[in-house]
Amino acid sequence: MQVIRAVGREAAAKKYDLLSAMMAHGLAGDKHRQRLILRLMALITTRYNWQRDELTIGQREIARLWCVDERTVKREMAKLRALGWIEIKQQGARGRVSVLSLNLERILLDTKREWDNIGPDFVARLGGTQPEPASNVVPLHRPEPMPAQGVWAEARARLAEEDRALFDAWFAGLAEAGAADGCLTLFAPTRFHATYVQTHLLDRLRVAVQRCDGRIAKVRVLGP
């Protein structure tokens, strides 16, 4: 999958591709998903700085744009953060609003299932059939899939559906060591494996786990 960077000569086309993917994803869902996606698209088209990856707007302004009250803004923005679609880039302080950013890779992953609804040219352009860059680096010894149950079993299924090659290379060999105080601990078969997942894939791992159990706020991967 090609991660969109909306800069350079093809910036305009890349922006339209991202918005098209979001639109298709929203239209394929229920009215609640459609409304949430539409509201985010409104923020992107009116206030998002593509070059700096920054969304800076206060809750009062968002409420006016969405024609809702500020409690609805808090609730909807919390949903978008839980999805991993928006992240806090700089926490607001002393009367200044927080600076947010878009997790474009997460958005593309979540909308990938609906790309076919737009057309094969769209799928080819975004590289829907291409492996992830991270998949180009494989462990020296590919581990056998470890048995799992509970939240980790559900999260594994999500990760496998998103990208089977990446799952087989890096996630299949992780074993659950337990969860405590909102942290899920996983064991990797080698120290290199653990370090690579922690460095390059932890965000994807965390989002998958949190979508299965919102009580888990942190994931750590340990090696032998």
Q: Report pLDDT for 134.
A: 47
Looking at domain 132-222, its CATH architecture is: 2-Layer Sandwich (3.30)
Measure the CA–CA gap between 111 and 10, rounded to whole angstroms: 21
Parts of the chain with a pLDDT under 70: 1-11, 128-149
Domain ranges of the chain: 11-109, 132-222
- Domain 11-109 belongs to what topology? Arc Repressor Mutant, subunit A (1.10.10)
Q: Report pLDDT for 217.
A: 86
Measure the CA–CA gap between 146 and 172, rounded to whole angstroms: 6
Q: Report pLDDT for 188.
A: 92
Lookup result for tokens 């744009």? 65
Provide the 8-state DSSP code for 29: S
